[in-house]
């Protein structure tokens, strides 16, 4: 009887720590530990190896599985804080836009099984990554903008020319592989079923 109870207890804990609400919290912690090229540069450290990240994730899963009655409420509360909770009636009538989102997270369709990890907007010291969606095929993509270390005044012709060239190159990159236009001002839609009933869960922000 005791063995059965322990088995059910651990099985439930493993479920909550992988597929359940705690799984999302654990994935966020792993992503925070992995960092991005921006955050790692700021902290002046190398990104941890995948092996170390695997054991870190395994430790979190096993720890939660043993203590889940005490940790579950905290995981649920944290997930709620990370969920996009739009309040305006205008949003509810129209849909989700990049402007309502931040950082890096997971976008899910509430009408089908589509789910994808994407970047809305993250930034570092001299660069930023911005998310877009192709208005033709629906594919999500991101582009990196790098700010060159130019200390010259904007009015100096050479500095202004470099900035103009950089801006033009960035604009030219906003084309999808299918040939469609990448845009971040329009309402997001599911690439699979084209539904606009989407939800976004942020995992980290920089």
Instruction: Kindly state whether residues 69 and 169 are assigned to the same domain.
Output: no
Instruction: Kindly state whether residues 133 and 97 are assigned to the same domain.
Output: yes
Which of 57, 82, 107 is the last residue before a domain boundary? 82
Quote the tokens at residue 122.
Answer: 């993250």
Range scoring the smallest mean pLDDT among 12-16, 61-65, 72-76, 180-184? 72-76
Contact yes or no for 184/133 (Cβ under 8 A): yes
pTM of the model: 0.52
- Please state the rounded mean pLDDT for residues 11-23: 82
Structural domain boundaries, residue 75: 2-82
- Confidence band of 182 (pLDDT split at 50, 70, 90): very high
Kindly give the interhelix angle for 2-18 and 50-82, rounded to the nearest 10 degrees: 80
- Please state the rounded mean pLDDT for residues 37-64: 78
The closest of 45, 184, 55 to 107, measured between CA atoms, is 184
DSSP H or E run through 198: strand 198-204
Helix (H, G, I), strand (E, B) or coil at 115: strand
Which of 82, 102, 129 is the last residue before a domain boundary? 82
Instruction: Judge whether residue 90 has pLDDT over 50.
Output: no
Quote the tokens at residue 185.
Answer: 């001002």
Which of 46, 66, 82 is the last residue before a domain boundary? 82
């Amino acid at each position: 009887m005791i063995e059965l109870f322990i088995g059910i207890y651990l099985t439930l804990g493993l479920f909550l720590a992988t597929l359940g609400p705690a799984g999302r919290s654990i994935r966020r912690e792993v992503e925070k530990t992995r960092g991005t090229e921006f955050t790692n540069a700021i902290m002046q450290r190398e990104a941890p190896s995948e092996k170390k990240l695997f054991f870190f994730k395994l430790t979190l899963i096993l720890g939660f599985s043993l203590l889940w009655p005490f940790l579950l409420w905290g995981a649920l509360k944290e997930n709620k804080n990370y969920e996009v909770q739009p309040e305006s009636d205008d949003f509810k009538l129209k849909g989700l836009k990049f402007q309502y989102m931040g950082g890096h997270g997971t976008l899910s369709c509430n009408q089908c099984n589509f789910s994808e990890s994407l970047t809305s907007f993250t930034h570092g010291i001299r660069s930023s990554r911005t998310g877009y969606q192709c208005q033709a095929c629906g594919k999500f993509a991101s582009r990196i903008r790098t700010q060159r270390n130019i200390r010259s005044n904007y009015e100096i012709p050479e500095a202004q020319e470099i900035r103009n060239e950089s801006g033009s190159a960035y604009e030219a990159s906003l084309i999808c592989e299918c040939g469609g236009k990448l845009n971040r001002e329009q309402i997001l839609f599911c690439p699979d079923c084209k539904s606009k009933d989407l939800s976004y869960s942020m995992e980290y922000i920089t």
